[in-house]
Chains A and B, each alone.
Chain A
Amino acid sequence: MASDNILVIGGGPTGMEAARGIASLGYKVTLVEKRPRLGGTPDASQYAALTPDLRSAEEAIGEMVDAVTNKPNVNLMLDTTVVGSSGSVGNFKVKAIQSGKEITIDAGAVIVCTGFTHFDPGRETQKYGYYEHDDVITLVDAEKMLKAGNFVRPSNGEKPKRVCFIQCVGSRDRQIGNEYCSKVCCGISSKQAIEIRQVVPDCKVFIFYIDMRMYGYWENEIYWPAQEKYKVNYVKGIATEIVKKGDQLIVKGEDTTLRRPMEVPMDIVILAVGMEPSEGTKKVADIFGLKKNKYGFIETTGGPLNTVSTEVPGVFAAGASTGPSDLEDCVSSAGAAAMKAIASLRAAVPA
């Protein structure tokens, strides 16, 4: 029998926005999340402030959580992991494990919002020594410290005097296999650079980059202020190696525009790790028979004109499950997916 319910898998920003949109149009939605709480990666990784507006992540994500909690038409299922599916558009029978118990969810259409995972710098091909040096950290680690309001050197708890970011770690790299740009890291590094300059004003901050990708308003909202107001040093050139000297780190690279090699001491090195498909994205893609691209993200079918339809009728994908995305992308594609899911439901189950 046909179902008038839409299943949204994943309770991050994309899934919450898709569910909110569907419910607000008067359709039934089941939002499943494998963690015991909503919020997705911004919550799980304790993001401090959002890019580009530096708004408190807790506050912004909190609003999204409220918009789908105890709301008409929204059936919220936490601690629930999708494990299987049968049926087709209009009539999916989705198997899930909820708090250890197997259940079946009926759905006319499905939106996959299973997101990304941060690149693990243990796999980088340069020699940055993330697992070797305490003071080599990632954007994710830095974000946690900034949220706690305590930005210090992990090795000794002291305030840093020199901090650098290394961009494109795990992105744009044929050797690693991630040839794509992760899209958000330039903005997040610049945002964190501003925050570091705010909390440790006498700390010099450097960003070593290949290209700065600060599209649209990110240019004047983050990049220019970082440079002009906060005096963050942008140096075109990527470090090849980090070595320890005394209690400092020496970053080796090239200052390409000045045509000179560079060996500079740093107190903290922040690796701007990119995005990879989450385990959930890869598993859910397999469960629904969705095609994945060579990087493991879910492939959508319509190129730039349809960013949410998959090869399986009635199954849509949105946000970072389809590739590197910023929050604007996530929320926009969530809306597009909600609209298309409702349309497919109405075609399958005439009102």
Chain B
Amino acid sequence: MIDALISFVNENLGVLFVIAIFPGLAFILGFVIFAVWYQRKYLARLMIRMGPVHCGGRMGWLQLIADAMKLVAKELIFPRAANKTLFLFASVVLPVIPAAMIALIPFAPGLIIYDAAGVSLLVFFAISTLFPVVSVIRGWAANNKFTIIGAFRNIYLDIAGEIPVFLASVGVMIWAGTYDLNEIVLKQASMWFIVPQFLGFIVFFIGFLAMIEKVPFDIPTAETELIYGPNTEYSGAMFLNMMEADYINLLAWTLLMITLYFGGYNGPPIFADPVLNGVFWILLKLIIAITIIFTITISYARLRIDQAVKMGWNYLLPLSILNILLTLAMKFYLGGV
């Protein structure tokens, strides 16, 4: 039994490494810890504060571990009126969905968890549509008016943001001529797609902010109106799972944006040096992207839900269709890549 296990591990070392360590579990959890710590430090610096300092000596690097361990050690409260099975189910399943989306992103030539045979972009979008469904389940199961209102806002916002995002990436699909994220990255070696797809990128970016539910669109978890939106009733380790789900969602969509518009694991075309290609560039782009997202987070006020839905349907959707027409015309006259 144990020998069989050891030989299985030895034979599949590469696959297990990819699943468990680098683009897989350890990287995702490490990113969540890093991103929350980085957000707290960075936002504090922008407010002329210090942020976490004392926990763990330098820079408060143990702060997130302390928070997580404290939440794990806290009491789990199941409200009396809640549907306890679904309540627990949603909190366990929600972080898995964005983590499954990350499995389709190429991190370096050949470094990808699941290569979806030429349709990985479509599979990514298919998985991403599960997120609001489970979000509604968590809101409904808690049986609290704040969670239900938050869950419905989540659905409105996700549909208003999702459709422009999908249609904006149709522009990329037409320009690259493929659904495969790996091939889309390979075709950006000479020019990143943000240049030919600039209108599409703007639409994608605004829809993307709605998908990750950060501050201009943190409408579902509006702290001043709904206490904590769909997460209101979650305590202890279940709340920890919810926070993880939010940040893994941020990671998945940011990686998709980098892959579609900023060349994925390719370096800038000016340095045509293949040595650094791969993990270094995608991580550098990731840190720059989350810095920009956190800056937006602290600079803007929250939109109302009707404003956000109106923006999605009245402005982003026509712009994304215009982008498809423009891309078709460019492909017809310029010949594409």
B partners with A:
no
Interface residues of A (CB under 8 A from B): none
Interface residues of B (CB under 8 A from A): none
